[in-house]
């Protein structure tokens, strides 16, 4: 899968925090992300590991609603995605 909504300067930036939401159904991965995004510094990257298909759509949608930045979603070898989000404020 090609990453969606990529911007060159963010892709490849190492995540400052990884949230393991594998096996968790939406909205739980989103709740975990919302609670912890402020644990990374401004412009830091949070990587959410999730395998609920809803998370693949909902995390980018959450970013849009909350004015954070969805960097890219990378497929994981074991299934699911690492969904990278940049803290904007």
Partner 1 sequence: MAYFDAASTEPLHPQAREALIAALDAGWADPARLYGPARRAKMLLEQARAEIAEVLGCRSDELSFTASGTQAVHLGVLGALRGRRRAGSRLVVSAVEHSSVLHAGQVHEAGGGSVETVGVGRTGVVDLEAFGAAVRAEGTALACLQSANHEVGTAQPVAEAAELCAAAGVPLLVDAAQTAGRAPVPPGWSLLAASAHKWGGPAGVGVLAVRKGTRWRSPLPEDERERRRVPGFENVPAIVAAAAALRAVAAEAEREGARLAALVDRVRAEVPRLVPDVEVIGEPVARVPHIVTFSCLYVEGEALLTELDRAGFSVSSGSSCTASTLRPSHVLEAMGVLTHGNVRVSLPRGTSEADVDRFLSVLPDAVRRIREEAGVKL
Instruction: Give the CA-trace dihedral at 52, 49, 64, 62, to 10 degrees.
Output: 50
- Binding pattern for the stretch 33-52 against partner 1, x by CB under 8 A and - elsewhere: -xx----------------x
What is the rounded distance in angstroms from the CA atom of residue 77 to the CA atom of residue 9? Answer: 25
Q: Does residue 63 have an active-site annotation? A: no
Please give the DSSP secondary-structure letter assigned to residue 24. P
Q: Judged by CB under 8 A, does residue 81 bind partner 1?
A: no
Q: Judged by CB under 8 A, does residue 80 bind partner 1?
A: no
Residues in CB range of 19: below 8 A, 6 or more apart: 29, 32, 33, 36, 46, 47, 48, 49
Q: Judged by CB under 8 A, does residue 54 bind partner 1?
A: yes
Question: Interacting stretch for partner 1, rule CB under 8 A, among 10-18, 21-29, 40-48, 80-88?
Answer: 21-29
Contacting residues toward partner 1, per CB under 8 A: 25-28, 30-31, 34-35, 52-54, 57-58, 60-62, 65
């Amino acid at each position: 899968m090609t990453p969606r909504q990529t911007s060159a300067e963010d892709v490849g930036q190492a995540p400052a925090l990884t949230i393991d939401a594998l096996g968790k159904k939406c909205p739980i991965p989103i709740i975990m992300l919302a609670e912890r995004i402020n644990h990374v510094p401004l412009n830091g990257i949070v990587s959410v590991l999730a395998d609920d298909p809803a998370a693949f759509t909902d995390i980018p949608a959450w970013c849009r609603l909350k004015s954070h930045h969805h960097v890219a979603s990378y497929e994981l070898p074991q299934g699911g995605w690492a969904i990278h989000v940049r803290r904007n404020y």
